Amino acid sequence: MATTANLRSRRSIAQLHALAGVEREIRAQDSHNRRKYLREFNEAFRRYDSLLDSQSVQRALHSADVVLIGDYHAFAGAQRYAASVIEQRSLTGDRPVVLGVETIFARDQHILDEWWRREIDETELRQRIRFDLDWGYDWNPFYELLRSARDHGEAIYGLDCMPRENLRKIGARDRHAAAKLAEIRERHPEAVILVLFGESHLAPGHLPLVLQKQMPGAKILTVLQNIDALYWRAAGERVDKVEAVRVNDDVVCVFNATPLEKYESYRLCLDQWSRCDTGPDFAPTIYNLIDSLAAFLEINRYSPHNGTQPKFLVDMLPEVHGNPSDAMLRRLLSRKGISDQQLKAMLANVEDRGSSYLPQLNAFCIRQFQMMHAAEDATRFLHHACRGLPDRLTVKRAGDEENVNCPTALTTDRFYTRVVEDAVAYFGSRVLYPSRPAPEAEHSSALSRAACEKAAQIAVRSDEKKFECIARDFGYRIGSHMYAAYLAGKVKPAGLRRLFLVHLDQPGMARKVCTAVIARLRSACPALRA
């Protein structure tokens, strides 16, 4: 009679031989497996308690409030298994089903919602969530998962945040995902939440531990797929096929592929990526500018609370459209109720500057990268984000209470809001791009409360183009003096962060802020008082 060791060896020897070559090739291109976070996962699951059949797995799934399904991203069968779990779990009818996925950033939830409501098609969804650029694995099995969730579930949520490529930040991503799942549970208290997340996140001390602290009363089940050590151990069992094993009370592992099949799929992905030849991807550059300015202002991108920090800045990062067509921009902007006049102005802005941040869409449109303009627009985004992206869902501006029926009315509140926004934008652009020229010198002395009041009176009696020009001129001058005061040590990053966080949409607030900034600059710079 064959011993357990003999069974394991005979069942595994050919696979292990083939697998050795694949692993050598993978290690040559991907050295991440040596990282502590991944070692902790690989060392966590070495043994199991018992064998399970498919009915036992279904009973375990049925008893859980949250199911964490491990995803080996390169293996299509991993996503298809998750889709089958959604369908099977929904058929019982006892609880609604909600899906959460690592593949989609939480910042792109609005795009996912548009697809859920069938406002956009598969192609636009794939493009706008930057699936091929930011994820890069096979689209079809993931889209099958999304369709299954839309057909059988109550909602779908993106759970991830940047940066994916930096393993030193991977713990922050776990904490972020746990906080998002806690929000989902509050939003869908009766639902069972199915989560597809990278398998390395599911080590006992990683996401499951953080999530248990966020949801102390929830029954959380981890479902692993095709873990190597468990597969090789199960190869010694005296049954023809092991469907699943129970690792402990909270963890099971299902087998729907061999390790060789799994790693070959990853090797093919690496080969495909090495042959990829596409145009420039501007998104990493924009996100790096935003990240650098946030670090300068001592902003915690992962803060779960509003106050001295914006809440989850990582979830507000903008879409970045490289070389978008006018037709695409018109289609995106038309959904937000943008007038033809505003649309023409925005398109002209993109054409003149090479790029532009559109707060109505929370998106960057870039046709030609110019550092000065990109740095200014990155600052504009961060200013909007710190205030809660007030313009994402509406084109209403601060001060519009005076003209409810005319959202583009030229009001004094709107003028001061523009001045503060332009001052902050110019200051941030100088921080990120110190080579930017200062505004014309002859205007530098005209900085006082009286001068600003006079400019406001002229602006509100002008047309839209002149209104914006006057506000920008005054704002840039204030921003230039802010930068000079910062270089002189008169202004600290913490104080500037407070300026970013002020809610300018409150009536009269922008004027108060503008007046206070001018007074502070005049006291810090004797030349302005001359």
Higher pLDDT, 444 or 419: 419
**Which residue, 176, 134, 140, is CA-closest to 157?**
176
Whole-angstrom Cα distance, residue 419 to residue 467?
11
Q: Is the pLDDT of residue 32 over 60?
A: no
Cis peptide before 163 (omega within 30 of 0): yes
Whole-angstrom Cα distance, residue 319 to residue 358?
10
Please, which pLDDT band fits residue 309 given cuts at 50, 70 and 90? confident
Q: What's the predicted TM-score (pTM) here?
A: 0.80
Whole-angstrom Cα distance, residue 509 to residue 277?
50
Helix (H) or strand (E) holding 104: strand 97-105
Task: Kindly report the average pLDDT of the chain as a whole number.
Answer: 86
Higher pLDDT, 206 or 396: 206
Q: Is the pLDDT of residue 112 over 70?
A: yes
Q: Is the pLDDT of residue 277 over 70?
A: no
**Which residue, 65, 57, 63, is CA-closest to 191?**
65
Indicate the domain borders of the chain. 4-274, 279-395, 397-530
**Length of the chain, in residues:** 530
**Which residue, 214, 386, 362, 359, is CA-closest to 303?**
386
Q: Is the pLDDT of residue 443 over 60?
A: no
Please give the share of the chain, as a percent, with pLDDT higher than 70.
Answer: 87
Q: Is the pLDDT of residue 225 over 60?
A: yes
Task: Report H helices in 162-281.
Answer: 170-187, 207-214, 228-234, 259-274
Mean pLDDT to the nearest integer, 202-210: 96
4-274: CATH class: alpha beta
Residue 37 in tokens: 């976070």
Determine contact, residues 243/254, Cβ cutoff 8 Å: yes
Whole-angstrom Cα distance, residue 470 to residue 129?
37
* pLDDT in the model for residue 184: 97
SS3 labels along 214-246: HCCCCCEEEEEECCHHHHHHHCCCCCCCCCEEE
Kindly report the number of other CB atoms within 10 A of residue 440's CB atom.
11
Residue 501 in tokens: 């966080």
- Residue 58, Cβ density class (10 Å: 0-12 exposed, 13-18 middle, ≥19 buried): middle
Sequence-ordered list of residues with C-beta below 8 angstroms from that of 45, at least 6 positions apart, any chain: 224, 227, 229, 230, 247, 251, 253
Lowest mean pLDDT among 84-98, 184-198, 219-233, 408-422: 408-422
DSSP percent split of the chain into helix, strand, coil, nearest 5? 60, 10, 30
Whole-angstrom Cα distance, residue 94 to residue 190?
10
Mean pLDDT to the nearest integer, 392-400: 40
Higher pLDDT, 264 or 172: 172
Whole-angstrom Cα distance, residue 355 to residue 281?
14
Higher pLDDT, 308 or 481: 481
Whole-angstrom Cα distance, residue 361 to residue 110?
10
Mean pLDDT to the nearest integer, 466-478: 92
Helix (H) or strand (E) holding 366: strand 363-366
